[in-house]
Amino acid sequence: MAKIDARLRENVHLLGELLGNAIREQHGDAFFDKIERIRKGAKGARRGSADGARLLQDTLDGLGDDELLPMTRAFSQFLNLANIAEQYHQVRRRGPDEAGPPEAGALGGLLERLKGEGFGQEFLARQVGRLDIELVLTAHPTEVSRRTLIQKYDAIAAQLAARDHTDLGQGELAKIELRLQRLVAEAWHTEEIRRSRPTPVEEAKWGFAVIENSLWQALPNVLRQTDQALKRSTGLHLPLDVAPIRFASWMGGDRDGNPNVTAKVTREVLLLARWVAADLFLRDIDGLITALSMQTASDELLNRSGQSAEPYRTLLRTLRERLQATRDWANGAIEHDQPAPAQVLFDNQDLCEPLELCYHSLHACGMGMIADGDLLDTLRRAAAFGLFLVRLDVRQDSSRHVAALAEITDYLGIGHYDQWDEQQRLDFLQSELNNRRPLLPPNFQPSAETAEVLDTCRVVAQAPAASLGSYVISMARGASDVLAVQLLLKEAGLQRPMRVVPLFETLADLDNAGPTIDKLLGLPGYRQRLHGPQEVMIGYSDSAKDAGTTAAAWAQYRAQESLVEICRAHQVELLLFHGRGGTVGRGGGPAHAAILSQPPGSVAGRFRTTEQGEMIRFKFGLPDIAEQNLSLYLAAVLEATLLPPPMPEPDWRETMEQLAADGVSTYRSVVRDHPQFVEYFRQATPEQELGRLPLGSRPSKRREGGVESLRAIPWIFAWTQTRLMLPAWLGWEQALRGALERGESERLKTMRQHWPFFSTRIDMLEMVLAKADAEIAERYDARLVSAELQPLGRDLRDRLSQAVAAVLELTGQSELLAHSPTTLEAFSLRNTYLDPLHLMQTELLARSRQQQSPAESPLEQALLVSVAGIAAGLRNTG
């Protein structure tokens, strides 16, 4: 078996040792010895040792009430430190005899391969320049770690990097390790769990901090590497004004089921983004003013600067003044609505133009080396982030628009919009969209809910176009849902185009997505209001919760195929927006594989996707890791555009249809139809306790009710904690077993070998099954589930074993992930620390349910820390 790299193991051991020192200092040797006995017992138990299992259980049983919280914290913190070591290992210094990370050469290798496929150099350069990738940062409540801890973890990673030099003297090494010890001690003495939920504005600030601390540096580095790869392969450069990767956000704009996101919040977040952008560009401009002290300049620059002796500085000082005015106004306008002074920057060209003038002047005067340094990086940032930093999406549930229009039509005495059929709604909406008079009289007094919808539309209408992305409609079901938003925006005074995007989420809505868009594009006048592509959002999370991942994945694939064909027939460009979650159960997984598995023609140089919760930190939290992931996005979208996967064979489609039908039938027979399922779910998992965890700003439920009322995230999160991982695989066990029993084994293997869509689904299924653990899940049942519900738990664990057996038969392996022994060993290392956390959590859940302890009690705190620790150990929540 391949072993974990010795340097990674060394860093994990070092951080664990430093954590042990901090624990000993606070709690003494006797307590630390208990930690070691638990760790050794868990390790032995994993290897099948009865003595190890007994040592583990006896030591845990002997813990006093006052020891539960620090013990839970100890194992949770170790898993966080292991994550830091693993993250740093991805971007560690390489020796001269070592190859760099594969991500670094992904684009260059792809360009050479594309040339080998017959693509011309100029064509390739144009295609790279036309790439349009937008990553939408969302504040789904899955980021368990507090921001203050994240900053300490980043500082620990920086010290690991400082330590990773072979020529350090003993004094230098000692200084670094002392700094590490202090940082680990600081983390140990910092509470893991927030005392209160973050507000939507605080979530937005967290997102802005990721840009400031990581992406601000990573993006120009990636574009520099892209330019170099392009120059090597084609002899051409990336144009100055292109931005193949941009960022958008839902933080402060996603009001779907979140009453805390109001029009006032959205306006404040838009202004905060402008403040942060101006502040970041001011830092850049200050640096450029210091650097660009030269006197020689082009005639144009000299004339603009008034023949100044330092023309570059003169021009940039004027820009600095305007940025300062912008920052000051944005800051003041948050509290007091006030008109913007003339100096405030609104048009991104006013930011880019003086920078470009300096750039071209330096090149013209033989100073290209200087121009292509920090100035070029600032120009790249100006193109990608601009004056508004991120484009804010607004998201609202379709039912809120229906209710608002129903109130309006009732007030006007023309009927009840919510009772009209689709054609009646379309007739009304089209008539009003074409009507020049206002819909609402000045004296209309809406209800609070309708007033909030209208106020949001006014914020959208008043905001600069470049500050906004799309208006996304959750649970969209018909063409009228899109026209309803267009009418409400028109009524709010919007006089420019804005993308209004239906989000199709359930299985039925995905199946109807194509006909809905076909109807929409055929409506008179709609095409005149559509400027740019027709954007459609594909829901991964709720479709998986509705139908299981087998049927949901196939429905998403077929919906995209249908949308590609329909938009082609209407001669309209299509932009698909992928609402992928972080976990497999919510449609997540490796982005590179996911992009390459999309239907042919669905990635036509454009790709828009959500990046949520803790995945933002794991993928973009450190600049070097962000560079790797952004490079993978560029390469994958270019490859999927120019070398799309093959169309599935007819018999593959037939098999997939049957797999999906069997999958959804099995999934719903358990989740919807089993009379004991909801009660079992609530007893076996910490679902109810998760509602007390102050993760994100929005509630865990959209409304009161059973599983159907839960958001997709806590639904996944709860099953992850018990290691049953049920939403990610339920349905596959019956679907695959049925196909194998029908003698379709060879066809499945052919599909896995030649169809990226199917192979990616099986790979993700294998990964989640490797994380699942029936024995751990059984322990939760034994301690928490009533006797009459335990047979259902046994049935689900039996289904899990069937899923594992089917995947092993399909892949021809003796154990899951046998092809990736390093990953297996990493799982093994984590299990030594996860197993005690699971055992402590089951006991904590039992005691919490018996005692009804207050939220601030040590028992409740220990329970919440166990939730955070297990999430950290498995590196996913929801």
Interatomic CA distance for residues 734 and 723, integer angstroms: 20
Give the torsion sign (CA, 671, 672, 675, 681): positive
Single out the catalytic residue among 34, 205, 490, 545: 545
> 213: which 2 tokens?
């601390």
CA count, 13 A, side-chain hemisphere, 875: 20
- Alpha-carbon dihedral 237, 239, 240, 245, rounded to 10 degrees: -100
- Residue 329 vs residues 260, 341, 346, 388, 560: alpha-carbon distances, Å: 26, 8, 12, 14, 44
Please provide residue 724's backbone torsions phi and psi, each rounded to the nearest 5 degrees.
Answer: -80, -25
Nearest to 384, CA basis, from 109, 133, 41, 59: 133
- Does 819 participate in catalysis according to the annotation? no
- Does 205 participate in catalysis according to the annotation? no
Q: How many CB atoms lie within 10 A of CB 281?
A: 26
Angular region, 691: left φ>0, alpha ψ -120 to 50, beta rest:
alpha
Give the torsion sign (CA, 504, 626, 756, 658): negative
Nearest to 700, CA basis, from 709, 691, 708: 691
Output the 3-class SS for 349-395: HHHHHHHHHHHHHHHHCCCHHHHHHHHHHHHHHHHHCHHHCCEEEEE
Interatomic CA distance for residues 567 and 572, integer angstroms: 5
Interatomic CA distance for residues 189 and 199, integer angstroms: 25
Contact 174, 163 (CB under 8 A): no
Using only C-alpha atoms, the chain has a radius of gyration, in whole angstroms, of 28
Strand partners, 612: 138
CA count, 13 A, side-chain hemisphere, 256: 22
Contacts (Cβ under 8 Å, ≥6 apart) of 872: 76, 79, 80, 83, 144, 145
Contact 200, 265 (CB under 8 A): yes
Interatomic CA distance for residues 355 and 363, integer angstroms: 13
Which one-letter DSSP state was computed for residue 701?
A: B
Interatomic CA distance for residues 238 and 13, integer angstroms: 44
Contact 866, 841 (CB under 8 A): yes
Long-range contacts of 348-352 (CB under 8 A, 24+ apart): 348/382, 348/386, 348/387, 348/466, 350/322, 351/281, 351/319, 351/323, 351/382, 351/386, 351/387, 352/241, 352/379, 352/382, 352/383
Amino acid at 749: K
Instruction: Tell me which residue has tokens 């051409």.
Output: 236
Please provide residue 531's backbone torsions phi and psi, each rounded to the nearest 5 degrees.
Answer: -105, 115
> 287: which 2 tokens?
């640096």
> 279: which 2 tokens?
């502040």
What angle separates helix 650-671 from helix 745-754, to the nearest 10 degrees?
A: 100
- Residue 93 vs residues 12, 99, 158, 251, 630: alpha-carbon distances, Å: 17, 11, 12, 34, 19
Contact 187, 156 (CB under 8 A): yes
- The set of catalytic residues is 140, 545
